[in-house]
Copies of this chain bind each other. A is one copy, B any other.
Amino acid sequence: MKTRRDFIKSTAMIGAGLSILKPSLSFAETQPKKVKLGIIGVGLRGQSHLSLIMKRNDVELVAICDVQQRMMHMSMEMIDKMKYPMPQMFLDGPYGYRKLLEIEDLDAVIIATPWEWHKIMCVDAMKAKKYTACEVITGMTVEECWELVKTSEETGIPMMMLENVCYRRDVMAVLNMVRQNVFGELIHLQGGYQHDLRGVKFNDGITAYNSGVEFGENSFSEAQWRTAHSVTRNGDLYPTHGIGPLAMMTNINRGNRFTKLVSYASKSRGLHEYIVNKGGANHPNAKVNFKLGDVITTMIQTHNGETILLQHDTNLPRPYSLGFRVQGTNGLWMDINKSIYIEGISPQHQWEDAKPWLEKYDSPRWRQDGDKTIDAGHDGMDWFVINDFIEAVKSRTKPPQDVYDAVTWSAITPLSELSLQQGGCSVDFPDFTNGKWSERRN
């Protein structure tokens, strides 16, 4: 457990190191097309981005920022190992990132911090005129979502939420099939986040995963902040991996929009049982009441008449599955059984192995760039999502996922919480585009 005194000490220490570690600006000056990038938050997720960024020859990493010495040191080691020019480093408390944003010729930032910091950091970054990429969950409340939209509109600065599952190879192949009308008119879609996170929500304070039953200040990495949401909130806390791809397929904010949703929550058992089984019934955390239901199910209605089912299931022992289903008037794909059926093409009225279909409709982008993704996280999806952001910065164009997508997907969380608070009532979906959804096109 770090004390406040330790924190001040470590901040000061890194602060003293800044002048030594500051990179030469001439590096960027000689290669004017390189994107000057900063990373706010170099925890484990930020380090994954760091690793990708250092491999790109069209980006110059000029600064990184965090609130924890340990994460900064881990990042420095990575940078050293890559023999990458050491960027400026900001370890100066929660608002230290604002100093990073003061770097005048910084083009863009990637934000990979706890959810509760995303909104203010995105707002500050856009106000500082930096292209803004942010890890998923951009807006913890509907009000935060609106603030992000208004800031992006007022500053003219694009904001992209880094929803990587939109770039999953099978998902992109299926999107390709959707665009080519293989499924016919879309009718019903499913997705979600079904991922046993118990070993992420708790650890021993030293090793990030599967190492103990601590969370909050006694823990390390995500367990420090993410688990608290399971204590105090009940709703679909992590909707974007499921909804992002489905929203793209159904043209949400581009001729279609979500009109309402409703959520149900099962009882909460998984996290408590995990603590008792691994830490014993007398462990202090065995007294914690977790508000988050183990399985949250959410139904969404779209303007164009599709229904979308989302599931959030992170507290129970289960194999990982995003549970995709894309169903139209001609047939459907499901990922859980890796199968497709298309009427008139599938030889029999039964499931076919999806593989030949996914190969046939493999995204041209994967065919072209697939080999670049080999070292990237999450089966290569991360390379694509970062690449699309960097390309948008380079060309000063809008990224393919924009601020409206970011908040529309993120708003599912507070809306599902509201639906549950109201006993399972349907909740109207705000139109963050203020009517522009009907004119916008892919």
Contacts and interface: CB of A to CB of B under 8 A. Distances in A.
Interface string A321-345: 0000001111110101111011100
A96 interface: no
Interface in A241-285: 260, 262, 264-267, 269-270, 273
Contact of A319 (B185, B266, B341): B341
Given A316-B187, A317-B330, A318-B327, A297 B307 contact: yes
A423 interface: yes
Nearest to A196: B349
B306 A262 contact: no
14 contacts: A187-B295, A260-B424, A262-B264, A262-B299, A262-B426, A264-B299, A267-B305, A269-B329, A301-B424, A317-B343, A318-B327, A319-B350, A319-B351, A423-B426
Given A188-B297, A424-B426, 12 more contacts: A187-B269, A187-B294, A187-B316, A262-B424, A264-B307, A273-B329, A316-B329, A316-B331, A317-B330, A318-B332, A336-B337, A425-B426
Nearest to A309: B297
A300 B299 CA distance: 12
Interface string A280-296: 00000000000001110
Interface of A: 184-185, 187-188, 196, 260, 262, 264-267, 269-270, 273, 293-295, 297, 299-301, 304-307, 309, 313, 316-319, 327-332, 334, 336-339, 341-343, 349-351, 423-426
A365 B214 CA distance: 47
Contacts of A327: 295, 313, 316, 318
Contacts of A338: 337
A301 B60 CA distance: 53
A342 B270 CA distance: 14
Contacts of A184: 273
A313 B336 CA distance: 18
A118 B368 CA distance: 61
Nearest to A344: B317
A347 to B, nearest CB: 12
A251 to B, nearest CB: 14
Contacts of A329: 269-270, 273, 294, 316-317
Q: Which of A297, A304, A318, A341 has the most CB of B within 10 A?
A: A318
A338 B336 CA distance: 10
Given A262-B424, A318-B341, A349-B196, A295 B188 contact: yes
B337 A188 contact: no
A322 to B, nearest CB: 13
Given A313-B188, A317-B330, A266 B307 contact: yes
A341 B317 contact: yes
Nearest to A341: B319
Given A299-B297, A309-B297, A337-B337, A269 B185 contact: yes
A266 B307 CA distance: 5
B305 A187 contact: no
Contacts of A294: 187-188, 329
A424 B331 CA distance: 26
A266 to B, nearest CB: 4
Contacts of A426: 262, 423-425
Contacts of A269: 185, 187, 329
A16 B328 CA distance: 53
Contacts of A265: 307
